[in-house]
Amino acid sequence: MNTMLTKEEIKELKINGNGIIGKIVREHKSSNSYVLHILEHLGHLPKNFDGTWLPELLDSKSNQVRFWTVKNLGKLTDDEFLQTLKKVALTDSDTNVRREAVSSIGRMRNPKAKNILIEMLQDADPKVVCQAIRGLLVFKEDEKIDNSLKPLINHENEMVRAVIYKEYFAKEKQKTTQQPHAETHEYLKNVVVNGDVREILRNIPEESIHLTFTSPPYYNARDYSIYPSYQAYLEFLEEVFKEVHRTTKEGRFLIVNTSPIIIARMSRAHSSKRYPIPFDLHPYLVKMGWEFIDDIVWLKPEASVKNRNAGFLQHRKPLGYKPNAITEYLMVYRKQTEKLLDWNIKQYRWQTVKESKVADGYETSNVWRIDPKFDKVHSAVFPVELCKRIVEYYSFKGDLVFDPFGGSGTLGRTAKSLGRLFFLTEVDEKYFEYMKSFMRNNTLFGERATKFLSLSDFIKSIKQQ
Ligand SMILES: C[S@@+](CC[C@H](N)C(=O)[O-])C[C@H]1O[C@@H](n2cnc3c(N)ncnc32)[C@H](O)[C@@H]1O
Ligand 1 within 6 A of CB of 380: yes
The CA-CA-CA angle for residues 386, 245, 350, to 5°, reads 65
Predicted confidence band of residue 275 (pLDDT cuts 50, 70, 90): very high
Q: Which of 409, 418, 427, 431 is nearest to 191 (CA)?
A: 409
The CA distances from residue 332 to 197, 198, 252, 294, 368, in Å, are: 21, 21, 11, 5, 14
Question: The pTM is what?
Answer: 0.86
Predicted confidence band of residue 441 (pLDDT cuts 50, 70, 90): low
How do the domains of the chain map onto residue ranges?
51-169, 186-342+361-463
DSSP state of 402: E
Residue 87: what pLDDT? 95
Residue nearest to atom 5 of ligand 1 (CA): 407
Exposure string of 290-299, with b = 16+ CB inside 10 Å and e = fewer, is beeeeebebe
Predicted confidence band of residue 122 (pLDDT cuts 50, 70, 90): very high
Q: Which of 12-16, 93-97, 152-156, 226-230 has the lowest mean pLDDT?
A: 12-16
Ligand 1 within 6 A of CB of 378: yes
Average pLDDT of 318-329? 94
pLDDT tens per residue, range 137-151: 999 889 999 999 999
Residue 172: what pLDDT? 65
- 389 pLDDT higher than 60: yes
- State the alpha helices, DSSP H only, in 76-142: 82-91, 95-107, 114-120, 126-137
Using CA of residue 153, residue 177, residue 291, residue 283, what is the dihedral sign? negative
* Separation CA 69–CA 382 (nearest Å): 55
Residue 173: what pLDDT? 62
Ligand 1 within 6 A of CB of 212: no
pLDDT tens per residue, range 252-266: 999 999 999 988 878
Ligand 1 within 6 A of CB of 217: yes
Burial environment of residue 50 by CB neighbours within 10 A (0 to 12, 13 to 18, 19 or more): middle
Ligand 1 within 6 A of CB of 199: no
- 17 pLDDT higher than 80: no
Q: Do residues 79 and 110 touch, judged by C-beta distance below 8 A?
A: yes
Predicted confidence band of residue 178 (pLDDT cuts 50, 70, 90): confident
pLDDT tens per residue, range 42-56: 988 888 888 899 999
- 175 pLDDT higher than 70: no
The CA-CA-CA angle for residues 76, 109, 100, to 5°, reads 65
In the reported structure, the alpha carbon of residue 197 is separated from the centroid of ligand 1 by a whole-number distance in angstroms of 9
Burial environment of residue 380 by CB neighbours within 10 A (0 to 12, 13 to 18, 19 or more): buried
CATH 1.25.10.10, applies to 51-169: yes
Concatenated DSSP letters of 220-246: TSSSS---S-HHHHHHHHHHHHHHHHH
Q: Do residues 245 and 233 touch, judged by C-beta distance below 8 A?
A: no
51-169 and 186-342+361-463 agree in CATH topology: no
Total length of the chain: 465
Ligand 1 within 6 A of CB of 408: yes
- Which atom of ligand 1 lies nearest, measured to the CA of 408? 9
- Which atom of ligand 1 lies nearest, measured to the CA of 240? 19
- Which atom of ligand 1 lies nearest, measured to the CA of 428? 25
The CA-CA-CA angle for residues 291, 296, 301, to 5°, reads 160
Please report, rounded to a whole number, the percentage of residues in the chain having pLDDT higher than 90.
Answer: 74
CATH 3.40.50.150, applies to 186-342+361-463: yes
Residue nearest to atom 25 of ligand 1 (CA): 428
In the reported structure, the alpha carbon of residue 426 is separated from the centroid of ligand 1 by a whole-number distance in angstroms of 6
